[in-house]
Structure 1
Amino acid sequence: MITLENYIGNNYIFNTLEIEKIINCFERKTLDKNGFFLKEGQYCKSIAFVESGIFLYYTVKDGEEKVCDFAF
């Protein structure tokens, strides 16, 4: 399992202080299985980093769920 700090450090050019400032902008939250990060009709005011598990993005068209993307 990769942490947000490791991900940023391995994929972007930031020094330790900059990474710490970025990490401090995040708040750890846990979603229950089948829980929602955002529901239909809500405005997104957050970003997420999937530390473990699978995140499923979908939209509802003509009454059917259409999967747009996955995040692991």
Structure 2
Amino acid sequence: MLILLSACLIAQPATCRDERIELSYEATSAFVCLRHAQGALATWQASHPEWHVARWRCASKETLPKDL
């Protein structure tokens, strides 16, 4: 499963980008992804302090959507 997130620059909130976080294990359900997403998002946020996570969601690799 993937966590799809949209992050915006703190200094320029109109500047946003989409990112993906691939979970290191193969989650079998959205519930498992949601349960582990908070830790993965916190790790991403800590390594990207100039960005703010505006929104996110879980998605399977097989049905990857085109937008967040």
Query: What band does the TM-score fall into relative to the shorter chain?
Result: under 0.3
Whichever structure has more strand as a proportion of its residues is 2
TM-score, normalised via structure 1 length: 0.26
Instruction: Give the structure with higher Rg (CA).
Output: 1
Whichever structure has more helix as a proportion of its residues is 2
TM-score, normalised via structure 2 length: 0.27
